[in-house]
């Protein structure tokens, strides 16, 4: 609170900070969307993440929007509560995670995928959503310009550990999934993202199943080549078409099978082998 106090004492009210923020895209809506009806007679798979999991933009599709088609939903509920524009930090601080937690029951599953929006501004601009790099316990304190509120920002790994611990406390089985890669080529290879390494590290230290979607999809893209990969994207390098989302969703299934994850017991017959 020291920074906030100094700003007030100096005669610069917190509300004035919002007027100094850098120009950019409009702020993201922070109202909490409702959860769908969930059948309590069967377990639920919850998906949390960003727009690469659930977009909500015409022509763009996240992998979480199609993966339900690969599961037998007469035996498993699939709830995609991912939300565009969110980071590991803002999905937590906006209350989205608390809404998921309120619906989790023992025996449920949670797939957690973040990283695309974490390397962003911490306090300035109209979309202050960044987390600190790494997996340590470092913190940064400041006033969020958009809301004039004081916040302690943690590392990417800290937020992932919170999701894992909270899910387990509710009796659910968390799974950490590295972010899907962007369509960025370098010397014939898709560039891997360091957030995938940090996700792996958190998975290791918390003894949580880890699905390296970043690597699985990157290898597929490299095998396909740029000409075949281009049509899988609806923009320059981040958001996929329905066909691209299908590739990523099937890659999640590939990862589940490779680790013999219990979720494979709920796959439709044609995807279970």
**Does pLDDT of 19 surpass 80?**
no
The residue length of the chain stands at 273
- Which string of DSSP letters, residue by residue, matches 135-195? SS---EEEEETTTTEEEEE-BHHHHHHHHHHHHHHTT-EEEEEPPPPPS-EETTEEPP-HH
Residue 52 CB burial class (10 angstroms; 0-12, 13-18, ≥19):
buried
Q: Per CATH, the architecture of 12-21+43-271 is what?
A: 3-Layer(aba) Sandwich (3.40)
CA-based angle 52:117:204, to the nearest 5?
85
pLDDT tops 50 at residue 123: yes
Torsion of CA 87, 211, 191, 60, to 10 degrees: -60
Domain ranges of the chain: 12-21+43-271
Strand 185-186 versus strand 173-177 pairing type: unpaired
Residue 15: is its pLDDT beyond 70?
A: no
Query: What is the predicted pLDDT for the residue at 12?
Result: 38
**CA-based nearest residue to 21, from 204, 121, 136, 146:** 146
pLDDT band at residue 30 using 50, 70 and 90 as cut-offs: confident
**pLDDT in the model for residue 272:** 60
Instruction: Give the number of other Cβ atoms within 10 Å of residue 253's Cβ.
Output: 19
Distance CA 60, CA 180 (A): 15
pTM value > 0.75: yes
pLDDT for 9 equals: 38
pLDDT, residue 25, reads 86
Please tell me the least confidently modeled range out of 53-57, 111-115, 252-256. 53-57
Rounded CA gap, 86 and 82, in Å? Answer: 8
CA atoms within 13 A on the CB side of 139: 6
Residue 262 to residue 259: CA distance in whole angstroms: 9
Distance, CA of 147 to CA of 10 (rounded, Å):
19
Alpha-carbon torsion angle 195, 121, 183, 250, nearest 10: 50
Burial letters 127-145, b for 16+ CB under 10 A, else e: bbbbbbeebeeeeeebbbb
Q: Evaluate whether 115 touches 155 at the Cβ level (below 8 Å).
A: no
Per DSSP, 267 falls in state: B
């Amino acid at each position: 609170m020291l920074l906030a106090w100094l700003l007030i004492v100096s005669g610069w009210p917190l509300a004035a900070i919002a007027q100094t923020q850098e120009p950019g895209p409009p702020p993201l809506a922070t109202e909490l969307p409702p959860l769908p009806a969930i059948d309590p007679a069967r377990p639920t798979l919850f998906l949390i993440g960003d727009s690469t999991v659930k977009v909500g933009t015409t022509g763009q599709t996240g992998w979480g929007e199609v993966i339900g088609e690969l599961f037998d939903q007469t035996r498993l509920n699939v709830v995609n509560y991912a939300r565009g524009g969110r980071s590991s930090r803002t999905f937590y601080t906006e209350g989205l995670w608390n809404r998921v937690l309120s619906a989790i029951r023992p025996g449920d599953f949670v797939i957690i995928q973040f990283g695309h929006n974490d390397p962003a501004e911490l306090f300035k601009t109209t979309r202050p959503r960044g987390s600190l790099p790494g997996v340590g316990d470092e913190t940064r304190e400041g006033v969020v310009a958009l809301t004039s509120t004081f916040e302690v920002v943690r590392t990417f790994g800290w937020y992932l550990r919170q999701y894992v611990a909270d899910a387990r406390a509710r009796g659910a089985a968390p799974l950490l999934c590295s972010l899907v890669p962007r369509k960025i080529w370098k010397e014939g290879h898709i560039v891997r993202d360091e957030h995938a390494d940090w996700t792996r590290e958190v998975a290791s230290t918390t003894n949580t199943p880890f699905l390296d979607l970043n690597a699985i999809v990157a290898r597929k893209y490299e095998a396909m080549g740029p000409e075949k990969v281009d049509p899988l994207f609806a923009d320059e390098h981040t958001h996929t078409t329905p066909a691209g989302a299908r590739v990523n969703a099937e890659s999640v299934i590939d990862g589940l099978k490779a680790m013999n994850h219990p979720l494979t017991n709920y796959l439709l017959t044609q995807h279970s082998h």
